[in-house]
Amino acid sequence: MADIIQLLPDHVANQIAAGEVVQRPASVVKELLENAIDAGADSIKLIVKDAGKTLVQVIDNGKGMSHTDARLSFERHATSKIRNAEDLFQLNTKGFRGEALASIAAIAHVELKTKQVDDEVGNAIVIEGSEVASHDIVVTPTGTSVSVKNLFFNIPARRNFLKSDTVELRHVIDEFHRVALAHPNIAFAMYNNGSESFNLPASNYRQRIVNIFGTKTNEKLVPVEEDTEVIKISGFVGKPEFAKKTRGEQYFFVNNRFIKSAYLNHAISSAFEGLLKPGTHASYFLNLWVDPQTIDINIHPTKTEIKFDDEHTLYAILRSAVKHSLGQFNIAPVLDFDRDPELDTPYSYKNNSVSIPKVEVDSNFNPFQEEKKFSGKQTTAFKPTPNNWDSLYVGLESKSNDTVVDFSEVHFESEEQTASVFEVDNLVEPSHSTYQIHNKYIVSAIKSGMLLIDQHRAHQRVLYEEFLKTMTTKEGISQQLLFPLQLHFSSKDIAIVKHLKVDLEHTGFVFAAIEDDLVSVTGVPVGIPESEVSIILEQLISDVEQEVPDTNFSATDLLAKSMAKSLAIKTGQALKKDEQEHIVNKLFACKEPHVTPTNKTTFITMSVDELDKKFI
């Protein structure tokens, strides 16, 4: 039988490796930014076009590469970071496997320009699908510039799997944020389709967070500091009152490398226990430093997951550190059993000298002497007893003996009703046809039996169809606010609001400005209270991020769903008779009364036969 196993050609092997390393344009951004950091750059510029599908370019002022290194950098498993297997457990760099550039070059057109400090000229290499097209000497600034064009040009199937530009750009920005937050001492800039998106100067960690997520973020941060033999923790957590519905602002960095860890995230959630509203998530930006020998970062192709030697200890320390910071800055209540509150010095006596109390003794005081009157500084005195005191009680005895109480004249405030429920003649038909149970369900009688409606879900369906109608007909009615409402969001959230601005205006929203980290609202749809506007926009941003819509998604439909979910009456809200009947009538006037916009049941029916069976 002939041999059937054979070695794959290099270009096929590179494309397979690219499937692990390069999933979308954001993967290219991550790899190129990390290479620039490893090169010792203190200023990095990222340029993208069409969300990275057409161009991803990273320019740095690092140490550059020699003529030979520039060529070898595109070979598989060619790296300057490790020499033997033991180096894998003592890593202090971002990249170490030597797969990134080789994988990227296999599926895109790559142009590399690089120059070292001591060299007068640099090198330029052009590679198309793993094939070197040219390698020339050029004049270029010190550092490296890598341009990745036409991603997945030779794998159309992979390119078709990419989402819309809006979604892909969101992933690119996420990767940019992760790298920029991990290295606040490096200046970063990002340009999208020719316009500047971010310009982050070198700064401290707090300022870097504020520069990325907006000026209002500064007042939301609580510092966290802990230094032990096992781990060193520094960074910030968000105050509970500013918790969001999304997990967007949650960042763990281990030895300056972004990671995802559900286990450590649970430690943070545990520290915030009892402080967060249901359905919200606390923000955190935490740097963890551990011994490189105690972690393994080579367990995932994207290197976003890390294996710790002792996760339980890290969990306990992290939870305690966050809890301590929340208590230290009066965010959470604390108990200190070693402190006696009675020993606290009042503020009014803080700087006063201590005086010895004086004791005054009345030497003429005689407890056996009958006092005739009070003397001294006493301001009150006893009134003298009247001489005719016995006249006050004259007639009481005769009145109590002669008076006879006639109980026939006693009247009750409300007469007791003793009608029997079994007397058919006394049964009265109820005045209304709907009832509310546990402030959650509405019960209504129908010919065949009984109708049980979930008030929150039913109202969602009603509002959804109303919003959808006003947006499609573009007849949204707006009520003007007396003063503009100023709302602050991160730049990523601002981009989502801009994308949905036209649809929001069709529902009745009026925006004075949407810029940087500010959204100014001057008008809202009729019936929406001003206090609900920020909640609606946050819920909308959360829904957009969680659903990750692609090119065939309807912004109008998602907006109607989100607003209906935010404004529908909640479970636990008591409803009057007319409100109950209004929901019932409106629900059955809908096109799809049986389900909510998210396909959940709005009501159930029970026939008389089903009820009869319950009593068998």
Is residue 145 located within the same domain as residue 252? no
Classify residue 474: in a domain, yes or no. yes
What would the two tokens of residue 562 be?
């989100």
Name the nearest CA neighbour of 561 among 451, 433, 438, 460: 460
More confident residue, 362 or 431: 362
Classify residue 340: in a domain, yes or no. no
Average per-residue pLDDT in the chain?
Answer: 80
Number of domains in the chain: 3
199-213, 344-358, 372-386, 476-490: least confident range: 372-386
Is residue 591 located within the same domain as residue 479? yes
Is residue 82 located within the same domain as residue 105? yes
Classify residue 346: in a domain, yes or no. no
Distance separating alpha carbons of residues 575 and 454, to the nearest angstrom: 13
Is residue 61 located within the same domain as residue 159? yes
Classify residue 298: in a domain, yes or no. yes
- For residue 526, the number of C-alpha atoms closer than 13 Å in the C-beta half-sphere is 6
Q: Can you give the CATH number for the domain in which 240 is found?
A: 3.30.230.10
Q: How high is the pLDDT of residue 280?
A: 85
Most trustworthy range by pLDDT among 20-24, 155-159, 315-319: 315-319
101-115, 135-149, 294-308, 343-357: least confident range: 343-357
Is residue 451 located within the same domain as residue 315? no
Distance separating alpha carbons of residues 206 and 184, to the nearest angstrom: 9
Is residue 96 located within the same domain as residue 178? yes
| pLDDT, average across residues 472-479 | 76
Q: CB within 8 A of 99, min separation 6: which ones? A: 17, 20, 21, 76, 77
The answer to whether the beta carbons of residues 451 and 445 sit under 8 Å apart is yes
pLDDT band at 189 (very low <50, low <70, confident <90, very high): very high
Q: CB within 8 A of 134, min separation 6: which ones? A: 124, 125, 126
| pLDDT, average across residues 403-431 | 48
Classify residue 361: in a domain, yes or no. no
Report pLDDT digits (tens) over 566-577: 888 888 888 888
Query: Among residues 328, 345, 365, which one ends one of the domains?
Result: 328
Query: Among residues 311, 328, 345, which one ends one of the domains?
Result: 328
The single residue listed with the structure tokens 């070059």 is 105
Is residue 448 located within the same domain as residue 590? yes
How distant, in Å, are the alpha carbons of 96, 200, 244, 258, 385 from that of 89?
Answer: 11, 32, 37, 17, 98
Q: How high is the pLDDT of residue 147?
A: 94
Is residue 194 located within the same domain as residue 244? no
| pLDDT, average across residues 233-245 | 89
Q: Is the pLDDT of residue 72 over 80?
A: yes
Report pLDDT digits (tens) over 499-557: 888 878 887 888 988 887 788 999 888 777 787 788 888 878 877 776 655 444 566 77
CB atoms < 10 A from the CB of 382, how many? 8
Q: How high is the pLDDT of residue 419?
A: 44
Q: How high is the pLDDT of residue 428?
A: 37
> Rounded to two decimals, what is the model's pTM?
0.69
Q: Is the pLDDT of residue 404 over 60?
A: no
Is residue 195 located within the same domain as residue 225? no
Classify residue 28: in a domain, yes or no. yes
More confident residue, 361 or 63: 63
Classify residue 352: in a domain, yes or no. no
Q: Can you give the CATH number for the domain in which 117 is found?
A: 3.30.565.10
Report pLDDT digits (tens) over 92-136: 666 555 577 888 888 899 999 999 988 889 999 999 887 888 889
Domain that holds residue 251: 208-328
The gap between the terminal CA atoms of the chain, to the nearest Å, is: 76
More confident residue, 89 or 601: 601
Query: Among residues 277, 301, 328, which one ends one of the domains?
Result: 328
The answer to whether the beta carbons of residues 173 and 56 sit under 8 Å apart is no
Q: Can you give the CATH number for the domain in which 489 is found?
A: 3.30.1370.100
Is residue 23 located within the same domain as residue 153? yes
Q: How high is the pLDDT of residue 431?
A: 43
Report pLDDT digits (tens) over 137-179: 999 999 999 999 999 888 888 888 888 888 888 889 989 999 9
| pLDDT, average across residues 450-472 | 87
The answer to whether the beta carbons of residues 58 and 31 sit under 8 Å apart is no
Is residue 177 located within the same domain as residue 301? no
Classify residue 113: in a domain, yes or no. yes
The answer to whether the beta carbons of residues 467 and 561 sit under 8 Å apart is no
Is residue 85 located within the same domain as residue 61? yes
